Amino acid sequence: MQDNATEVTAAGIARLAGVGRAAVSNWRRRHADFPKPVGGTETSPSFALAEVEDWLRRQGKLAEVPLRERVWQQLVGHPEGPVAALVHAGCALLLIHDRPTVWLELSAASDERLAELLPTALEQVLAPRFGMVRRPAVRTPAPAELLPSAPLLRGAAELAAELGARQTYEFLLGRHLDANPRQYTLTPGDLAALMADLAGPARSFLDPACGTGALLRAVAPGTDQELYGQDSAPELAELTALRLALHTRAAVRTAVGDSLRADAYETLRADAVLCHPPFNERNWGHDELAYDPRWEYGFPARTESELAWVQHALARLRDGGTAVLLMPPAAASRRSGRRIRADLLRRGALRAVIALPVGAAPPYNIPLHLWVLRRPERAPAQPEVLLADTAGVSEAADGRGRLDWPAVRAAVLDAWHPFDRTGTTREEPGVSRSVPVIELLDDDVDLAPPAICPARRGRRRGGTHGRTRTPRRNPPPDRRPHPAPHRHRGPRPLAAHHDR
């Protein structure tokens, strides 16, 4: 069966022929037999890929197309769109990865027969990998859905024979993310690895705003491991599940829904939580979640969505479990969050605040923070908190410069590991120090590390230099309203998604 369903743009034709777009425009004007548009718009038409290839071949203009490029063109030209194509390709690649002989038998048949038989084979792979749940994140495609994808699946299988199933999916997903930068807010791989290192080895991990799964993919493999993810965008929950299943042998569970309003894992108590939450959300559920039992450290203000995510993470941890969240720097110092910050400190839940260099993650012009939290097993007698500022360790020349991630990683982990073992650490001037909680419980409860760690001379340009704090002998009283008993409020509406 010819790949008549796959479409290609003028830019794609130019890549196939190894010419510029102007040459494609000239061919359309000068050759009456050039394929007619089958879709797109008047200013950006699309053409049937099979017809274009036939025409280029007859004209002697078809360049030797790399297999990667051919499969990519099949994916972006899929009639149901690239996300549906990625899901279908991911399912087929998981079958190739787990049961290669089954794929070889199926692929010997015609496209129609392949589409007819593939759902049954996929069920035997998807159910064991994603669990027997009532509403699985990855749904088995029907034969009618798979038929237009047959040429793509065959091309993906051919590419998997060269690269491997996992690398093939990483290539296709990565190129899709690169081609749509405004659609997704990504967690860079180096940052994801650092966050996983701070959390440490664990059996069960949760990412309640999982996006494309970068954080869960970064965790070190372990025995009988379980990875839980949730995202408000159904397509991201699907893509993450397939990505993780191809990457690890761990049990993978992903769910669709806004974790704050429609938590899929209310009874889960994970060993570790990793999260890159959406920033500065006003519509996070403030009005309908006033009596939610997760607000153990205080009811967050409407402007403090990040502190809602912090408390959600703590609520999903077992006692002694660790959470690592990427946070905007304002969350460490906004007055509207000072009482929650104070309670997190008093009770020993907040263990470290680490300022990253500018350019570490989007938005690239802001020095984001990492918060390391631990669900307290008991209240510490004289708690301390680790504050670190890595701006002087690796400064980007501009907001998007390449950082010295090995230096940042070493500075952070060299401070965190001894602090995690003993509750205190040796001061590294301008980089890190452990601070008694009593020193931070003033009227502001400002936890911004640059304000606490004096800058190393000659290494910092501008910014806030060290300042002197006067410790209060009596911490500010806990004036937060105590929530009433939790009442069931019915189904919770979903919030707009924020992709990672």
What's the pLDDT at 450?
A: 73
What's the pLDDT at 211?
A: 95
Tokens of 89: 């390709």
- Spatial separation of the C-alpha atoms in residues 425 and 448, rounded to whole Å: 18
pLDDT band of residue 382 (cuts 50, 70, 90) is: confident
Share of the chain above pLDDT 70, in %: 87
- Spatial separation of the C-alpha atoms in residues 65 and 317, rounded to whole Å: 50
Per residue in 204-260, pLDDT tens?
999 999 999 999 999 999 889 999 999 999 999 999 999 999 999 999 999 999 999
Closest CA to 220 of 248, 252, 257: 248
Per residue in 438-493, pLDDT tens?
999 999 999 998 766 655 434 443 343 333 344 443 444 444 444 444 433 333 33
Q: Judge whether residue 368 has pLDDT over 80.
A: yes
Q: How far is CA 468 from the centre of its chain?
A: 38
Q: Judge whether residue 397 has pLDDT over 90.
A: no
Q: Judge whether residue 334 has pLDDT over 90.
A: yes
Q: pLDDT averaged over the chain?
A: 87
DSSP 14-41: HHHHTS-HHHHHHHHHH-TTSPPP-EE-
Determine contact, residues 299/235, Cβ cutoff 8 Å.
Answer: no
What's the pLDDT at 4?
A: 52
What's the pLDDT at 455?
A: 54
Per residue in 284-327, pLDDT tens?
999 999 999 999 999 999 999 999 999 999 999 999 999 999 99
pLDDT band of residue 7 (cuts 50, 70, 90) is: confident
Structural domains of the chain in order of their starting residue, each with its CATH number = 7-64 (1.10.1660), 82-179 (no CATH), 189-452 (3.40.50.150)
Three-state secondary-structure class, residue 485: coil
Q: How far is CA 339 from the centre of its chain?
A: 29
Q: Judge whether residue 132 has pLDDT over 70.
A: no
Per residue in 34-83, pLDDT tens?
999 998 898 889 998 889 888 988 888 776 678 898 899 999 989 999 99
- Torsion sign over Cα 296, 321, 272, 409: positive
Per residue in 183-218, pLDDT tens?
998 999 999 999 999 999 999 999 999 999 999 999
What's the pLDDT at 466?
A: 39
Per residue in 63-75, pLDDT tens?
667 889 889 999 9
Determine contact, residues 129/245, Cβ cutoff 8 Å.
Answer: yes
What's the pLDDT at 456?
A: 47
pLDDT band of residue 412 (cuts 50, 70, 90) is: very high
- Spatial separation of the C-alpha atoms in residues 310 and 34, rounded to whole Å: 58
Closest CA to 54 of 10, 5, 3, 18: 3
- Spatial separation of the C-alpha atoms in residues 44 and 85, rounded to whole Å: 21
Cross-strand partners of 317: 270
Determine contact, residues 432/425, Cβ cutoff 8 Å.
Answer: yes
- Spatial separation of the C-alpha atoms in residues 170 and 177, rounded to whole Å: 10
Closest CA to 166 of 78, 242, 254: 242
- Spatial separation of the C-alpha atoms in residues 412 and 481, rounded to whole Å: 36
